C-alpha cells in the first residue's frame, strides 16, 4: 500500500496480538539503483527482529521461521525493491501483514512489542500534504492535485482551457485580428490592435480562472502553487482570492514544460511549508503551557491519554522509554519483560484511539526541547 490515513492507523492500533512486529527502513538509495544494498539492509533488520523474538519472547527457531516467513518472501522480490519510494514500513503479527512504500523517509528501526509502533508512521499523515498546482498561460490552463508521491490532473467544470475559447473566438477571428507580444518569457494575448481593452480581456480570463479554482478549493486549506511566467503570475496575484496560494511561482510557460518537471519544481516550493500545520498547534500549546490544560510529564500524559483527556499530543518521534501502564492502579511501571512497551508510542495509540490528534515531530520542532507535550480537553 502507498497511502496512510486515519483508518489505516486505527486498524494497526486495534491489534494487540503478541508479538506485533514493526520495521521502518529508509529506501532513498534505491533511487540510485542500489537494490542489493537495500536487500542487505532489510535482511539486517529481519535479523534484529529474529534476535528480539529469540531473547525477549523466547521463540524457538521453528516459531521464528513461521512468524517471519511472509516478510522473508519480500527479500528476493526484484519488483518489490525496484518500485520503492523514500521509506518502507512493514507491520506483522499473527493476523496482519501490511507494508507501505511511502514518500517520507524513515530512520531504520525494529520494534517487537504488544502493540505496533506507529510513531514514525504518524508523521506521514502530516509530512505528505496534498496541494494544488495551477498551470497557467493565455493559451493553456490546467489544475493538478499533488502530494509527495504523484501528480494528477483534475477535470474542472467551467475552467477555461485558453483565452481564445473563453472569448468564444473562432479560428478565423483568432488568426486575423489577434497578435501576440512577449511579456517576460511567455506569450501574452493581445486582441484587436492591442492596448487597455486587450489587457482587460486577459484580466477577465484570469478572473474567471480564479473564480472557478476558488470555488473548487474553497472548502480546503491545501496550498495552491501557480506555474506561470513571472509577469502573468503578477497579474494573477492581484486577482487571486484563494487565501492559501503561495506567493512564489514555478516560473516559465507551462505549455513548454513537461508535467513531470512542473511537478518536481512544485515540490521544491512546497517543501519549506511541510510543517506549517505545527505553527497553530505550537502557538496554542504556548498559550496553555504551565496551566492545568497542558502537560509535559510522560506519566501524567499516559494516564490522561488512556482516559480520553488528551485533545492534542506533540511527540518527538525519536523518543523512547520502556515500561507499561498499570491500568488497575493508574501507574506507569517497568517490568523488564515482554510486558514492557514503548510508553511514548502507547500514549500516541491511546490519543488516536480516543479521537485526539497526534503530531509526530523531529526533535528540533518540539517545544522547549521536550520529548512529549499534551493539550488537554478539560
Shortest CA distance to 374 belongs to which of 307, 276, 274, 321?
307
- Do residue 149 and residue 232 come from a single domain? yes
- 2 vs 21, residue with greater confidence: 21
Q: Label residue 180 by pLDDT band (50, 70, 90).
A: very low
Phi and psi based region of residue 65 (left: phi greater than 0; alpha: psi -120 to 50; beta: remaining): alpha
Angle, nearest 10°, between helix axes 298-306 and 343-353?
Answer: 30
Asked if pLDDT for residue 22 goes beyond 50, the answer is yes
Asked if pLDDT for residue 169 goes beyond 50, the answer is yes
- Do residue 224 and residue 307 come from a single domain? no
Residue in the structure block whose three cell numbers are 510508553 = 343
| Euclidean distance between CA atoms 160 and 86, whole angstroms | 37
Looking at 113, 128, 143, the residue that finishes a domain is 128
- Do residue 27 and residue 140 come from a single domain? no
Looking at 102, 128, 154, the residue that finishes a domain is 128
- Do residue 57 and residue 147 come from a single domain? no
- Do residue 269 and residue 334 come from a single domain? no
- Do residue 124 and residue 137 come from a single domain? no
- Do residue 118 and residue 159 come from a single domain? no
Pairing status of strand 223-227 against strand 131-137? parallel
What integer pLDDT is reported at residue 82 of this predicted model? 86
Looking at 223, 253, 273, the residue that finishes a domain is 273
What integer pLDDT is reported at residue 130 of this predicted model? 86
Average pLDDT over residues 28-44: 82
- What pLDDT digit, counting tens, does each position of 78-95 carry? 889 988 888 999 999 998
Q: What is the mean pLDDT of the chain?
A: 89
Pairing status of strand 357-361 against strand 310-316? parallel
Asked if pLDDT for residue 185 goes beyond 50, the answer is no
Average pLDDT over residues 167-189: 47
- Do residue 196 and residue 293 come from a single domain? no
Q: What is the CATH number of the domain that holds 297?
A: 3.30.1330.30
- What pLDDT digit, counting tens, does each position of 49-75 carry? 999 999 999 999 999 999 999 999 999
- 148 vs 212, residue with greater confidence: 212
Neighbours of 252 (CB within 10 A): 20
| Euclidean distance between CA atoms 244 and 142, whole angstroms | 18
What integer pLDDT is reported at residue 198 of this predicted model? 60
- Do residue 283 and residue 220 come from a single domain? no
The domain total for the chain is 3
**Residue 333 in grid coordinates:** 511501571
What integer pLDDT is reported at residue 176 of this predicted model? 41
**Residue 83 in grid coordinates:** 518500485
CA distances from 10 to 5, 118, 179, 363 (A): 9, 10, 59, 25
> pTM value?
0.80
**H helix intervals, the chain:** 6-13, 35-55, 61-75, 78-82, 119-127, 163-166, 171-175, 196-217, 230-239, 259-270, 277-288, 298-306, 343-353
Residue in the structure block whose three cell numbers are 484587436 = 192
What integer pLDDT is reported at residue 36 of this predicted model? 85
- Do residue 118 and residue 143 come from a single domain? no
Residues in the chain: 378
- Do residue 140 and residue 223 come from a single domain? yes
Average pLDDT over residues 101-125: 92
Domain residues for 329? Answer: 275-378
Q: Are 240 and 203 in contact (CB under 8 A)?
A: no
Q: What is the CATH number of the domain that holds 90?
A: 3.30.960
- What pLDDT digit, counting tens, does each position of 329-374 carry? 999 999 999 999 999 999 999 999 999 999 999 899 999 899 999 9
Asked if pLDDT for residue 276 goes beyond 90, the answer is no
Average pLDDT over residues 163-180: 60
- What pLDDT digit, counting tens, does each position of 187-241 carry? 444 444 445 556 889 999 999 999 999 999 998 989 999 999 999 999 999 999 9
- Do residue 116 and residue 210 come from a single domain? no
What integer pLDDT is reported at residue 129 of this predicted model? 76
Q: What percent of the chain has pLDDT over 70?
A: 90
Q: What is the CATH number of the domain that holds 223?
A: 3.30.420
Which burial class, exposed, middle or buried, applies to 276 when counting CB atoms under 10 A from its CB (0-12, 13-18, 19+)? Answer: middle
Amino acid at each position: 500500500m502507498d497511502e496512510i490515513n486515519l483508518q489505516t492507523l486505527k486498524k494497526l492500533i486495534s491489534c494487540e496480538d503478541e508479538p506485533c512486529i514493526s520495521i521502518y527502513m529508509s529506501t532513498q538509495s534505491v533511487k540510485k539503483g542500489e537494490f542489493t544494498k537495500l536487500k542487505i539492509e532489510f535482511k539486517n533488520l529481519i535479523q534484529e527482529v529474529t534476535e528480539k523474538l529469540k531473547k525477549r519472547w523466547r521463540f524457538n527457531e521453528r516459531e521464528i521461521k513461521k512468524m517471519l516467513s511472509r516478510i522473508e518472501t519480500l527479500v528476493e522480490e526484484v519488483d518489490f525493491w525496484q518500485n520503492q519510494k523514500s521509506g518502507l514500513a512493514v507491520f506483522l503479527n499473527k493476523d496482519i501483514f501490511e507494508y507501505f512504500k511511502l514518500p517520507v523517509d524513515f530512520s531504520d528501526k525494529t520494534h517487537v512489542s504488544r502493540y505496533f509502533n506507529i510513531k514514525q508512521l504518524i508523521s506521514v499523515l502530516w509530512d505528505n500534504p496534498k496541494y494544488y498546482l495551477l498551470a497557467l498561460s493565455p493559451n493553456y490552463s490546467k489544475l493538478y492535485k499533488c502530494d509527495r508521491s504523484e501528480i494528477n490532473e483534475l477535470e474542472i467544470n467551467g475552467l477555461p482551457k485558453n483565452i481564445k475559447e473563453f472569448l468564444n473566438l473562432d479560428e478565423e477571428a483568432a488568426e486575423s485580428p489577434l497578435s501576440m507580444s512577449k511579456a517576460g518569457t511567455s506569450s501574452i494575448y493581445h486582441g484587436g490592435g492591442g492596448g487597455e481593452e486587450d489587457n482587460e480581456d486577459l484580466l477577465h480570463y484570469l478572473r474567471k480562472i480564479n473564480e472557478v479554482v476558488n470555488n473548487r478549493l474553497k472548502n480546503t486549506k491545501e496550498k495552491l502553487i501557480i506555474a506561470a511566467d513571472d509577469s502573468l503570475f503578477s497579474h494573477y496575484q492581484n486577482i487571486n482570492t484563494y487565501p492559501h496560494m503561495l506567493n512564489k511561482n514555478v516560473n516559465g510557460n507551462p505549455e513548454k514544460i513537461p508535467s513531470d518537471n512542473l511537478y518536481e519544481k512544485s515540490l521544491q516550493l512546497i517543501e519549506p511549508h511541510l510543517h506549517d500545520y505545527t505553527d497553530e498547534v505550537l502557538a496554542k500549546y504556548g498559550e496553555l503551557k504551565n496551566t492545568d490544560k497542558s502537560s509535559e510529564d510522560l506519566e501524567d500524559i499516559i494516564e490522561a491519554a488512556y482516559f480520553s483527556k488528551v485533545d492534542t499530543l506533540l511527540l518527538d518521534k525519536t523518543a523512547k522509554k520502556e515500561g507499561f501502564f498499570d491500568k488497575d492502579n493508574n501507574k506507569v511501571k517497568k517490568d523488564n519483560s515482554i510486558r514492557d512497551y514503548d510508553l511514548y508510542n502507547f500514549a500516541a495509540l491511546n490519543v488516536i484511539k480516543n479521537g485526539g490528534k497526534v503530531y509526530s515531530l523531529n526533535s528540533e520542532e518540539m517545544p522547549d526541547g521536550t520529548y512529549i507535550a499534551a493539550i488537554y480537553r478539560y
